[in-house]
Amino acid sequence: MSMAPKAAVDERDGKAARDAWLAAGGDAIWLPYSQMKTAPTPLMAAATEGSRIRLADGRELVDGIASWWTACHGYNHPAIAEAVRRQLAAMPHVMFGGLNHAPALTLARRLADLLPGDLERVFFVDSGSVAVEVALKMAVQYWLNQGVRGRTKFVAFRGGYHGDTLATMSICDPDEGMHAHFQGWLPEQIILDLPVDAERRLILDHVLSQRRDEIAGVIIEPLVQGAGGMRMHEPEMLAEIARTVCRRGHLLILDEVMTGFGRTGSMFACDQADIVPDIICLSKALTGGTMALAATVARRHVFEAFWSERAEAALMHGPTFMANPLACAAANASLDLFASEPRLDQVRRIEAALEAGLAPARAIDGVVDVRVKGAIGVVQLSDLKDRAWLRERFLARGVWVRPFADILYLTPAFTIDDADLARLTNAVVEVAREWSGGLR
Ligand SMILES: *Cc1c(COP(=O)(O)O)cnc(C)c1O
């Protein structure tokens, strides 16, 4: 798509768009994270290319979030498309119980090679939430298999997001998270503040030693807490947490579903802190944003706790579409692109452009914070009520972003060009200015 995005958006009237959506099947759909009664009508996407989304009505938008930060190579990368096409002709899917296939084994070995230390056993699943569920299950059973009973709780951190399934809801931020009203029904976990200062480090250390016999593991999103508010912390703090967890004899689980595959500037966020978690969860950009696939990867000592003559010591899990060959082929092609194209350099270039492009927002009244890490740029506002208005203001500038909580954020494809990136940062600054000016 070479044409420039149209600047002026014809919002004609909501009603025509609503009717068209309903007629197309909108009356049969239940939307994600939406109050159906008041949610704005979704835009109909027709095609994607690079960093652009073409809508069914012909409008073209510059994509600022790469479909929940999955499409790291941009949309429709020909190398991934070709790999999937070839796999589709040979074998779209086969059960993983009793049968294996080259795309999965190749991918497992490549992930083991890319990940630090002896993170070397790859369990494939089909979504980030399930990757975290499996990590929790592994951690609980790790202790049981060694005859240790009662270690079933997890330490997680305020501001965190780990998924929408039952167990993962219980380790999300209990107050600001999306799942607050399920409290009381979910398993009770231990949610602490991130140990940003000496006092909180002491609290973490204290809890980890005092409640040792209840705790199965500690889980954190390294460097950036994503969907919980895009809060960032330094590698030194992450390293300190890892040391504390290790010293107190606990398992450390890193949820790198968001941060994995370059987003924070290194292949994995844990690389920047030079730590090796006991279990790591990967998904989102694993297939370059093309197919549902995730992995839970364990270190050797975790795996060895399941290695036994006893059948009941096995990990009893196995999603139907586990290690789907199409998704594995896409992931292998995606890893080829990380090897053959300068992705991490591109992330550094984006980081600099986000820093420079979003900096003017610091001077805007009501802007609480501007922060950047890798290819993640955030402008935090003092409050953010009218999302429909915001959406309309961004659409009017020909860009697709989707603010949540109190933040405007950008997580573009690593391949985005300078002009499109400038368009995104300008749009964020301009919309923040309009918001501040009292228009909303
Ligand atoms: C998106 C996300 C998840 C959940 O992944 P799904 O594929 O949506 O189930 C879990 N953890 C983190 C850090 C995420 O960003």
Model pLDDT for residues 240-283, shown as the tens digit of each residue: 999 999 999 999 999 999 999 999 999 999 999 999 999 999 99
Residue 221 alpha carbon to ligand 1 centre in Å: 10
C-alpha to C-alpha distance for 294 and 114, rounded to whole angstroms = 15
pLDDT of residue 184: 85
Mean local confidence (pLDDT), 68-97: 98
C-alpha to C-alpha distance for 117 and 345, rounded to whole angstroms = 24
- Looking from the CA of residue 129, the nearest atom of ligand 1 is 9
- Looking from the CA of residue 294, the nearest atom of ligand 1 is 7
Three-state secondary-structure class, residue 264: coil
Three-state secondary-structure class, residue 367: strand
pLDDT of residue 176: 75
Judge contact between 397 and 7, C-beta under 8 A: yes
Name the catalytic one among 63, 173, 255, 271. Answer: 255
Among 162, 233, 409, say which to mutate for ligand 1: greatest number of ligand atoms within 8 Å of CB: 162
Residue 153 known to be catalytic: no
pLDDT of residue 439: 54
> Of 390, 396, 422, which Cα lies nearest the Cα of 408?
390
Q: Please, which pLDDT band fits residue 387 given cuts at 50, 70 and 90?
A: confident
C-alpha to C-alpha distance for 97 and 104, rounded to whole angstroms = 13
Residue reference for tokens 């239940």: 30
Judge contact between 323 and 104, C-beta under 8 A: yes
Cα 158 to Cα 174, 217, 238, distances in angstroms: 7, 16, 15
Residue 255 alpha carbon to ligand 1 centre in Å: 8
Kindly state if the Cβ of 329 falls inside 6 Å of ligand 1: no
Q: Please, which pLDDT band fits residue 154 given cuts at 50, 70 and 90?
A: very high
pLDDT at residue 424 greater than cutoff 70: yes
Residue 132 alpha carbon to ligand 1 centre in Å: 8
Among 258, 261, 293, say which to mutate for ligand 1: greatest number of ligand atoms within 8 Å of CB: 258
Residue 424 alpha carbon to ligand 1 centre in Å: 24
- Tell me the pTM: 0.95
Kindly state if the Cβ of 104 falls inside 6 Å of ligand 1: no
User: Would you mind telling me the total number of residues written for the chain in this entry?
Assistant: 440
Instruction: Report the mean per-residue pLDDT for the chain.
Output: 95
Please state which of the ranges 9-23, 303-317, 344-358 shows the lowest mean pLDDT.
Answer: 9-23
Residue 284 known to be catalytic: yes
C-alpha to C-alpha distance for 216 and 212, rounded to whole angstroms = 8
Q: Which residues make Cβ contacts (< 8 Å) with residue 107, sequence separation at least 6? A: 122, 328, 331, 332, 335
Model pLDDT for residues 165-183, shown as the tens digit of each residue: 999 999 999 887 677 788 7
Name the CA dihedral angle for 418, 424, 426, 431, rounded to a multiple of 10 degrees: 180
> Of 279, 286, 284, which Cα lies nearest the Cα of 305?
279
